[in-house]
Amino acid sequence: MGQVYKAVQPSLNRVVAIKVLPGEFAEDETRVERFNREAKAVALLNHPNIVQIIDKDQDKDTLFFVMEYVPGSSLDDVLQQRRLSLQEAFTVFRGVCRGLEAAHRQTVIHRDLNPRNILVSDDLTIVKLADFGISKVETISREMGTLSTAESSIGTLHYMAPEQAVSSGTVDHRADIYSAGVVLYEMLTGRVPVGRFNLPSQLNSEVPSEIDPIVLKCLATDPKDRYGSVSDLIQAVELLEDQLRLGLVNELKGISRSTSKIFKSSTQTLTRNRKVLIGAGAGVLLLAAIGIAALVFRSSEPEPAPQQVAEVARGAAFQVEAVPRFDPEAVDSQLDLGKFEPEGEPTEEPAQPEPPAARAAEPEPEPEVEAPQPTPEPKPAPQRSTTNAGDREYKVALDKLKAGLFDPAIKDFEEFLQRFPNSSRAPGAYLAIAECHVGAGRTQAALAAFVEVQSRFPSARETAQATYRHGELLIASDRGRAPEAIEIFERAAVKFPNSNWAPLALLAKASLELAEKIQVNDPVTGGRVPRALITYRNVTELYGSTPHAEKALRRLAELYANEKRHDLAAQAWEKLGTSFPNTKIDCWWEAGQLYDKKLDNDQRAIAAYRKVPKSSRNYDAARKRINKLSR
């Protein structure tokens, strides 16, 4: 209803939008009164996802209001041209829900949420809701309490909650939740749900079925069956989005955020073999690769025995490894300046850096879905002397780090950042400073430096390492901050799923989850299980070809056995043997024992025993069992 014009506000020299309502509105005192009341209420809504009303006025028989101008188009225009990707739908829907949430806090209900009233930028990163309250004035007859068909379109009806079509005067915020569900359905499928409709996953193969319950709950006929608030809806969507991002569907269901203190004091401590496996399963010593040299993981201790992992699963005490120290021999010495990235092509456009003094680490917000980074335009190559000077200074600083000269190295890296602030190695230099503080034993300064890397360069490849190291150092220095470390490790895995640090982060997360004794509902086992079990399982599914999966499969099998799911434990042992034929773990013997002793499956037991290698200490025992079971 009404015409919208693009205009310029002379007093502030800014572009605005002016909505002019139909002439007959000014002739009805009731409508004028409601227009004024609603406009005042909506003008109080100041939120990034709501179009701001700047002013309202009446010129003779014309009512109009002035609102901020939003470049782009309506969501309806976008949906007419194409179907949104799953990620785009999530991005737009989050903006819609946050706008509704802010309005509902001010007791303002939209009542006419549909794609035409959702304004988006061309890249869909800006989402704003328009016509709050004003739409109610235009389409609802106060006297009748029902829709005036002369003033509304059939399209709007499809987005309207059932109770609103019956009695508009009694609807509450849950009517907006219904409309939001219709919008989500349309973004996912290109259709609106009318009558008996198919689930989104049935109409679009790219939509996972886990989204269906959220959509159905929004579209419940009875308002009591919908989400109680938009905040609850946002929480459900963001939780699902995080799970889908890692492929961890249903992982977080039933998780209690309030968990008991980790690492309770105990007179019993495990041996060094039972230390928290922050890295990958042994004493992991990390040093700065810093954009040039890769970190080297050294594992000098044997893998924990199965009974040790079982003790862990039952809540045995952990002995936390000391803060990682610097070891010059652990740095890759194969440095080749010719393989460095050329200066002038930074992976992240950094801000002009201040001298990187240690700052107190501040809590960071949960990461948004990382948008694809556009390929930077080629920049003119700098003069050769400048590039060479930067390379030399960087290498000198790195050599000092490797030599354990931490304070001189910090000084060199700071000077490098001051002289070459736009270098592609700037993230690595900040990361190097953090590692220098670790080597010097300055834990708080190191934590602050790792946070600085994450804050300055959220998308740089070095940030994956900084996030992981942040969590590792945090838990190594303060046992009571395990819940916070779990969130940091999860962030590293979610935000950088393709980095080498993601599986390490998940393994570290699982170790802490065992210590925290966190339990969740698991759809695979059908009951409550340690959350670590699900984390290990996802390591095996997401990173099945990496050495990390070998460690995860072993722990997964042992945890399944603890839960009396011997069938799943046997399958995990078999998968370990199949995926890692050179493993030193006696997985085929373990599988055979389960099929033989727990599952009474002689054929599967024989098949597993036959694959026990001659190098196994159980080789002869496996042959005997084969002979006995074959009779």
Query: What CATH number did the domain enclosing 211 receive?
Result: 1.10.510.10
> Predicted confidence band at 387 (pLDDT cuts at 50, 70, 90)?
very low
Q: Which helix (H) or strand (E) holds 55?
A: strand 53-59
Return the sign of the alpha-carbon dihedral for residues 200, 201, 206, 208: positive
Contact 576, 587 (CB under 8 A): yes
Contact 129, 113 (CB under 8 A): yes
Residue 606 lies in a domain: no
The CA-based diameter of the chain, rounded to the nearest angstrom, is 103
In three-state secondary structure terms, 350 is coil
- 318: which 2 tokens? 């952990």
Is pLDDT at 359 greater than 60 in this prediction? no
Asked about 112 being catalytic, the answer comes back as yes
Which pLDDT does position 156 carry in this prediction? 62
Residue 296 lies in a domain: no
Query: What CATH number did the domain enclosing 508 receive?
Result: 1.25.40.10
pLDDT digits (tens, 9 = 90+) for 309-320: 333 333 322 333
Last residue of a domain, one of 490, 516, 542: 516
Contact 255, 293 (CB under 8 A): no
Which pLDDT does position 9 carry in this prediction? 78
Is pLDDT at 219 greater than 50 in this prediction? yes
Give the structural domain span for 31: 3-68
Which pLDDT does position 328 carry in this prediction? 37
Residue 351 lies in a domain: yes
The pLDDT of 44-61, averaged and rounded, is 80
Which pLDDT does position 509 carry in this prediction? 94
Q: How many residues does the chain have?
A: 631
Please tell me the distance from the alpha carbon of residue 556 to that of residue 29, in angstroms, as a whole number: 71
The reply to whether 258 and 201 lie within a common domain is no
Residue 218 lies in a domain: yes
Query: Is the backbone of residue 600 left (phi > 0), alpha (psi -120 to 50) or beta?
Result: left
Q: Which of 52, 47, 49, 50 is nearest to 65 (CA)?
A: 52
Bigger pLDDT: 7 vs 297: 7
Q: Which of 175, 147, 151 is nearest to 163 (CA)?
A: 175
The reply to whether 150 and 194 lie within a common domain is yes
Query: Is the backbone of residue 341 left (phi > 0), alpha (psi -120 to 50) or beta?
Result: beta
Is pLDDT at 164 greater than 90 in this prediction? no
Bigger pLDDT: 10 vs 485: 485
Last residue of a domain, one of 516, 538, 561: 516
The reply to whether 358 and 478 lie within a common domain is yes
Please tell me the distance from the alpha carbon of residue 123 to that of residue 282, in angstroms, as a whole number: 45
- 62: which 2 tokens? 């014309």
The reply to whether 64 and 121 lie within a common domain is no
Q: Where are the beta strands (DSSP E) in 177-302?
A: none
- 165: which 2 tokens? 């079509």
In three-state secondary structure terms, 127 is strand
Contact 212, 155 (CB under 8 A): no
Please tell me the distance from the alpha carbon of residue 560 to that of residue 569, in angstroms, as a whole number: 5
Total domains in the chain come to 3
Residue 165 lies in a domain: yes
Return the sign of the alpha-carbon dihedral for residues 40, 41, 44, 47: negative
The reply to whether 461 and 479 lie within a common domain is yes
The reply to whether 9 and 146 lie within a common domain is no
Please tell me the distance from the alpha carbon of residue 568 to that of residue 556, in angstroms, as a whole number: 9
The reply to whether 201 and 114 lie within a common domain is yes
The reply to whether 210 and 174 lie within a common domain is yes
The reply to whether 126 and 175 lie within a common domain is yes
The reply to whether 182 and 224 lie within a common domain is yes
Please tell me the distance from the alpha carbon of residue 290 to that of residue 429, in angstroms, as a whole number: 6
Q: Which helix (H) or strand (E) holds 80?
A: helix 75-81
Residue 530 lies in a domain: no
pLDDT digits (tens, 9 = 90+) for 406-423: 999 999 999 999 888 888
pLDDT digits (tens, 9 = 90+) for 524-553: 998 999 999 999 999 999 999 899 999 999
Q: Where are the beta strands (DSSP E) in 260-311?
A: none
Which pLDDT does position 598 carry in this prediction? 94
Instruction: Give me the helix-helix angle, 426-439 and 461-477, nearest 10°.
Output: 20
Please tell me the distance from the alpha carbon of residue 389 to that of residue 401, in angstroms, as a whole number: 18
Tell me the backbone φ, ψ of residue 51, rounded to 5 degrees: -65, 125
| Residues 153, 155, 157, 161, Cα dihedral to 10° | -140
Last residue of a domain, one of 68, 88, 110: 68
Give percent of the chain with pLDDT exceeding 90: 39
Query: C-alpha distances in angstroms, 41 versus 44, 62, 115, 591?
Result: 6, 20, 22, 68
Please tell me the distance from the alpha carbon of residue 608 to that of residue 626, in angstroms, as a whole number: 9
Q: Where are the alpha helices (DSSP H) in 384-460?
A: 384-402, 406-419, 426-439, 443-456
Eight-class DSSP state of 328: G
Which pLDDT does position 298 carry in this prediction? 29
Q: Which of 448, 494, 497 is nearest to 469 (CA)?
A: 448
The reply to whether 61 and 97 lie within a common domain is no
Residue 403 lies in a domain: yes
Which pLDDT does position 160 carry in this prediction? 87
Q: Which of 59, 61, 112, 327 is catalytic?
A: 112
Contact 70, 128 (CB under 8 A): yes
Q: Which of 494, 567, 568, 504 is nearest to 533 (CA)?
A: 568
**Whole-number CA gyration radius for the chain:** 30
The reply to whether 340 and 454 lie within a common domain is yes
Residue 578 lies in a domain: no
